[in-house]
Structure 1
Amino acid sequence: MMQINSNPILAFLVTLIFISIPLSALAAKHNNATEKLSLNQDDIHGLWIEKRKKKLAVWIEDCGNALCGRIYWMKKPLDKKGQPKLDPHNPDTKLRNRPRCGMKILSGFVKNKENHWQEGKIYNPNNGSTYSSKIELSKSGILKVRGFIGLSLFGKTLKWERPEQKLQHCG
């Protein structure tokens, strides 16, 4: 059996392998973090989760010439009877039996300047109300979704972030 110490080439190769493994892992970790950061800062499309309560995630995508968003994940997708949560408060009675998962809750957002979208609507399935809405993507990668009635002054801002872990689609 050959000893590593007696063969300088073998010793060099073993050393090279032991050095390259941690460096590869470090590079992969850096690439993942960089991809997440650039995705947060450069693009509104994709998956966003409610920052504070983490009960809901929305998938934002192009819908024609505007942006829309659909419910992708819910912390509690089932009601007390173990059935998928529905839309019982919808003003359109024909839509009250549709499942919340996959439901479009953001619609009509048009980019008006860098990292700002306006003229949108946000639907709240908890009460069946639709509000005017605007979105801003902050420099720190937080998506600020403001729903309001009439003037933006009279409303509420939700903060969303990119999920830190993979989420299972509720559909």
Structure 2
Amino acid sequence: MNNFFRKLALLAVAVFTIAGAAAQDADKILGVYKAVEEGKESKVEFTRQADGSYRGQIIWLKQPDNPDGTPKLDVKNPDASKRSVRADRVVVVDGVKYDAKKNVWNGGRVYDPTKGKDYKVEVSFEDARTLRVKGALLGFSRSVYWTKIE
């Protein structure tokens, strides 16, 4: 009987170790990334949400204001209630969850505020500091690459 409990304890330790490693891999996405697209520079921060999904939100824009000094807004958003959100606070990746088998975050959406459109998304690391954000719609896809800075 003692041997049974010893094996059970070892199994429990192994399960918690594996679960902890998977959570650590999933949290690898957390941090701040520099994004440069079409000459526009921004910083996006990934955070973990209460439901276990991850969200990427713009936290900084190189040029956050219009020429007249007013803040840029998310004016192309198809959801009229979000058009008053400052461009330097827009959520650009939402609802992604870590798939340990594929080593990617998927199942969510990526939003392109320059076009006012959102797409299915798959996020993965190209290397330790380069995040690949791949948006797809109707069989077409486009990837952008962000550099982890924090």
Please classify the TM superposition score into its range, dividing by the shorter chain length. 0.7 to 0.9
Q: What stretches of structure 1 of length at least 5 have no aligned partner?
A: 1-41, 165-171
Number of the residue aligned with 2:87: 100
Match of 1:46 among 31, 34, 38: 31
Measured after TM superposition, the shift of residue 116 of structure 1 is 1.1
- Cα separation, 2, equivalents of 1:48 and 1:84: 22
Give RMSD over aligned pairs.
Answer: 2.0
For each residue in 1:106-152, what CA deviation from the matched residue of structure 2 results, as whole angstroms up to 9, or x when unmatched?
1011111264111121111111101111001123421000011033x
Give, as a single letter, the amino acid of the residue that structure 1 aligns with 2:91: K
Number of the residue aligned with 2:144: 158
Measured after TM superposition, the shift of residue 89 of structure 1 is 0.9
- Cα separation, 2, equivalents of 1:54 and 1:65: 30
- Residues 115 and 138 in structure 1, CA contact (< 8 A), matched pair in contact too: no
Of Structure 1 and Structure 2, the greater strand share is in 2
- Residues 132 and 150 in structure 1, CA contact (< 8 A), matched pair in contact too: no
Number of the residue aligned with 2:64: 77
- Residues 51 and 160 in structure 1, CA contact (< 8 A), matched pair in contact too: yes
Q: How many residues align?
A: 121
Pick the structure with greater CA Rg: 1
Number of the residue aligned with 1:9: none
Number of the residue aligned with 1:25: none
The percent identity for this pair of structures is 27
Runs of 4+ in 1 over 3 A off after TM superposition: 51-54
